[in-house]
Amino acid sequence: MNNTVLVTKDGPITTIKLNRPDQLNAMDVELLTELNDELIKIKEDDSKIVVLTGEGNAFSAGGDMKTLLQNSDPNGFKDVMGIIKNIVTTFYSMPKVTVSVLNGAAAGLGLSVALAADFIIAKEDAKVAMNFIGIGLIPDGGGHFFMEQRLGPVKAKHTIWEGKMMTANEAQTLGLVDLATPDWNQALNHYLNKLQQSPIQSMITSKLIINGKQLPLLEEVLDQETRGQAKMRQTHDHKEGIDAFLNKREPQFIGE
C-alpha cells in the first residue's frame, strides 16, 4: 500500500483523506481497497464523527481512467464493483455522524461516495458533477440512489442525463450539497463543535433507524448499477466516449 488513504483521530473525530493529490484523488483499485479496509475498521471503533475529504485541490475526480481502461476482465470488473458496494454501504450505514467535505472537484464515483454522508460541506467554487454520461456510462457507487434521495426521481434523471459540471453553490441550490461556503474549513470546525455539544447518540440512533430502512434498497441499486455498467462498457457509445476523452474532443454518440 502507498498510503492512498490517510486516517487521523482527534478525540471523537476521525478524518479520512483520499491521498492521490497528483491524480486529483482519482479512485484506482489500490485507493478503493485501502478505503474499504479503513472504513471497516472505523465502523467498529469508538469515534462518533467521521469526516471524509481529499488531499490537495480536489475531493475526487472519480474513478481512475487507467483502471477503467485496463479492467476489461469481467471478473476483475465485478471484484472492483464489489469493493465499491462495500465502501458505499459501510459509509452509509456507519453508526457515526458522517460529513463529506468537498475541498475541490467531486465528480462521478467521487460524488457518489461523498453523497453517502449525512452532511456535505463544499468549497463554494468546487466543481460538482454526476458526469458518467459523458463517457457513455451510468452512475455507480449508489449514484442513482443518492441522487433520487436528494433531488426526487424526475430531477435526478434530468441531472444524470445532463451530466453538467456545476459549482458547489449551484449544487446547493439544487439540493446535492448542504452547505457551500468560501471558507469550508471554518464551516467544518463550526459544525464539528456543534455536533460535540449535541446529544449525538440520539442523532446516531435516528440515523440508524432511517438509513437502516433504506439500506436494502441501496444494496439493490448497487447491484443493478453493476449489471447496467457491465452492459454499458460494451457499447459503441462508451468506447467513443473514452476515445473522445483521451483525445480531448467532443464525442459523437449514435445511441448504440
pLDDT tens for 147-202 read 999 999 999 999 999 999 999 999 999 999 999 999 999 999 999 999 999 999 99
- 8-state DSSP, 23: G
Other beta carbons within 10 angstroms of residue 62's beta carbon come to 27
Q: State how far Cα 45 lies from the chain centre.
A: 22
Beta strands at 105-107 and 58-60: parallel, antiparallel or unpaired? parallel
Which amino acid is it at 69?
Answer: L
Which amino acid is it at 116?
Answer: A
CA distances from 218 to 93, 112, 134, 144, 166 (A): 10, 12, 24, 9, 25
Instruction: Please tell me the predicted confidence (pLDDT) of residue 245.
Output: 86
CA distances from 94 to 9, 34, 42, 51, 211 (A): 16, 17, 9, 12, 9
pTM score:
0.95
Instruction: Please tell me the predicted confidence (pLDDT) of residue 70.
Output: 61
Q: State how far Cα 61 lies from the chain centre.
A: 10
How far is Cα 127 from Cα 3, in angstroms, rounded to an integer? 25
Give me 139's grid cell.
452512475
Q: Return phi, psi of residue 213, to 5°.
A: -65, -35
Beta strands at 97-102 and 166-167: parallel, antiparallel or unpaired? unpaired
How far is Cα 241 from Cα 253, in angstroms, rounded to an integer? 8
How far is Cα 125 from Cα 106, in angstroms, rounded to an integer? 11
Give the angle subtended at the CA of 116 by the CAs of 218 and 153, to the nearest 5°. 60
Instruction: Please tell me the predicted confidence (pLDDT) of residue 77.
Output: 87
Instruction: Please tell me the predicted confidence (pLDDT) of residue 75.
Output: 77
Report mean pLDDT in 10-residue bins for the chain, 256 residues.
90 97 96 97 97 97 79 78 97 98 97 98 96 95 98 97 96 97 96 97 98 98 96 93 89 94
Say if CB 63 and CB 29 are below 8 A apart. no
Instruction: Please tell me the predicted confidence (pLDDT) of residue 246.
Output: 86
129: nearest Cα among 168, 103, 92, 95: 168
How far is Cα 38 from Cα 118, in angstroms, rounded to an integer? 18
Instruction: Please tell me the predicted confidence (pLDDT) of residue 69.
Output: 66
